[in-house]
Structure 1
Amino acid sequence: MTADFYDAHLRHWEDGEALYEAKRLANADHLYGFAAECGLKCLMKAFGMVVDPSGTPLERRDRVHVRNGEKEGTWGRYETYRSGRKAASYLLPAGDPFSDWDVSQRYAHRSCFDAFRVGLHRGGAAAVKDLVRKARLEGVIG
């Protein structure tokens, strides 16, 4: 199976939105993180991130989630690839809305997820979605 960052980005966003509308905030929150991660990796690949035939990034530092605890996540790694003329206009909003998101939160109790927290992550994922849509319209990604 080959990684398809674009499709994964879309389906995580769509499912996150469905869960958000159903007031299932804990799982929506988790999917917003994955939507942002996959969207950023889609852009990073277009901007020069090298992947193996299965789609796995060759650079170990690029094999991360949107945020991994104290480690730099995809939100931070994205800036590494956003250089050069073709990527210059693909700027993320200031600040990392996923600074408190972690993949291990899938084990957390649902009461740990409130509308404010999920709203920040939803906004971050939406910002990535807008950049991915722009890249599609401009032919940067297929």
Structure 2
Amino acid sequence: MVNQSTAIMTIDFGNAHDRHWNDAETLRENGRLANADHLYGFSAECGLKALMQSFGMSVHDGEPADRGDWKHVDQLAERYETYRSGSTCPNAASYILVNDNAFNDWRASQRYAVESAFTQDRVDAHAAGAREVRDLVKTARREGLL
């Protein structure tokens, strides 16, 4: 039996992005707005980190090597832009995050918030932000960047 506390996990930001997106969509469709909102944030975060990794972000032992990259989505847009604009990857310039403040009001700590605080408008805005990242990830996959 593998000791889970010491097992090395394969980190795949792209897979995590897909998983969180799919769960967020299912939860939103079933009226579970609070958890959907939370997962839209994590989906966008993982998608951005997948792109950042392809633009040069180093990962060591399953985590970004630079502690400055240990950010949640509400603080990640500037780091993303740093990697994107400094990348030598083909077409990196076209991976612009247009709505770079979509998650300014999202916090990982909101997982503790009362469910009634999550309105349809709030969740829809975060879903739109996550969808923008999802579109960038899909383009990167189509172009062989991811």
**Fold shared, TM-score > 0.5 on shorter chain:** yes
Match of 1:93 in 2: 98
1:112-123 counterparts in 2 under 5 A? Answer: 112-123=117-128
Q: Percent identity over the alignment? A: 57
Greater gyration radius: 2
Contact 1:37 1:75 in 2 (8 A): no
Which amino acid in 2 is paired with 1:48? G
Q: Aligned partners of 2:100, 2:13: CA distance in 1, in Å?
A: 23
Cα-to-partner distance string for 1:28-60 (whole Å, 9 max, x where unaligned):
0000000000000000000000111x3311111
Tell me how large the CA RMSD over aligned residues is: 1.0
TM-score of the two chains, using structure 1 as the length reference = 0.91
Match of 2:81 in 1: 79
> Which of residues 106, 126, 134 is equivalent to 1:129?
134
Q: Aligned partners of 1:93, 1:45: CA distance in 2, in Å?
A: 19
Which amino acid in 2 is paired with 1:56? E
Which amino acid in 2 is paired with 1:80? T
> Which of residues 89, 109, 126 is equivalent to 2:114?
109
> Which of residues 66, 72, 79 is equivalent to 2:73?
66
Contact 2:102 2:125 in 1 (8 A): yes
Flag as ranges the 4+ runs of structure 1 deviating above 4 A.
none
1:55 is the counterpart of 2:62 = yes
